[in-house]
Amino acid sequence: MNAMLRDAMARRGVTRTELARIVGVDVKTVDRWVDPPSRTPHSPRRAAVAEVLGVDPGMLWPRAVRAAIKTGADREILAAYPYRNACPPTVWSSLLDGAHRDIVFAGYTSYFLWQEQPRAAERLRAKAEAGCRIRFLLGDPESEVTRRREAVEDVPLTVSTRIRITLDQLRKLGQLPGLEARFSEGHISLSVFRFDDEALVTPHIADQLGHESPLLQLRRLQPDGLFDRFAQHAETLWAAGRPVPDVGGGS
């Protein structure tokens, strides 16, 4: 018997017939919820019953509710996309606009930002002026790693050209306090874009471009979880990175 459901109905003064009518089932279904072996309704019906009785669904069906909630490492994964460009531009916009402390673009070129986000430079300027720290970790356009990647991709808009477009955009922002850029080659196969306690992560696949590679949307919910691991990856590369001249005003 589901004694918690029975007692909640009694406290609320709701009969089985009344509950059945309100949530849109027949009374035999309610009988099966209450009486042994006490079947468990699906999530929408659990929510409806709990609302009628003025309690939390977890009180009436704790095992089912616990099973429906992620408790492992994957609970920090909010969404997964097979391609980066399958992630709606509004997701990027909301994360960029919602960040107030720390924005990190650890993409090898981050060229897409200027193409896909209207007024990206103006929005970054406003963030920096409001006290947000903004960091770009880019590949060195002159490095051997960049040249090898260009040979792999073999596209007209080369890796070094895309990096230089980002550098040009950043230099146009002027000497903004909190805006910094460094060179690194350690993220050629993994991009991490952090917005306070949320992140978008792209592991790059073989010879495919960034927009053709998968993307994970993460939110920090625990110490040393997926978010922290990827964030630490970017921080480690940043610490070893080489400052880019004439970008921003530092921290």
Q: Check residue 19 and give its pLDDT.
A: 96
What residues form DSSP beta bridges with 81? 215
Q: Check residue 78 and give its pLDDT.
A: 87
From residue 27, alpha-carbon distances to 19, 34, 38, 227 in Å are 8, 11, 14, 47
CATH number for the segment(s) 74-243: 3.30.870.10
Quote the distance between the C-alpha of residue 33 and its chain's center: 38
Q: Check residue 193 and give its pLDDT.
A: 97
Comparing 63 with 189, the larger pLDDT belongs to 189
Listed residue (47, 41, 45, 42) closest to 2, CA to CA: 41
Comparing 150 with 251, the larger pLDDT belongs to 150
Inform me whether the pLDDT recorded for 132 exceeds 70: yes
- Dist. CA 250–CA 235, nearest whole Å: 16
pLDDT tens, residue by residue, 4-57: 899 899 999 999 999 999 999 999 999 999 998 889 998 889 989 999 999 888
Give mean pLDDT, residues 203-211: 74
pLDDT tens, residue by residue, 66-117: 666 666 778 899 889 999 888 888 889 989 999 999 999 999 999 999 999 9
pTM of the model: 0.72
Map out the domains of the chain as residue ranges: 3-68, 74-243
Residue 86: count other Cβ atoms within 10 Å of its Cβ.
12
Q: Check residue 71 and give its pLDDT.
A: 64
Q: Do the two domains 3-68 and 74-243 of this chain adopt the same fold?
A: no
The correct answer on CATH 1.10.260.40 for the domain covering 3-68 is yes
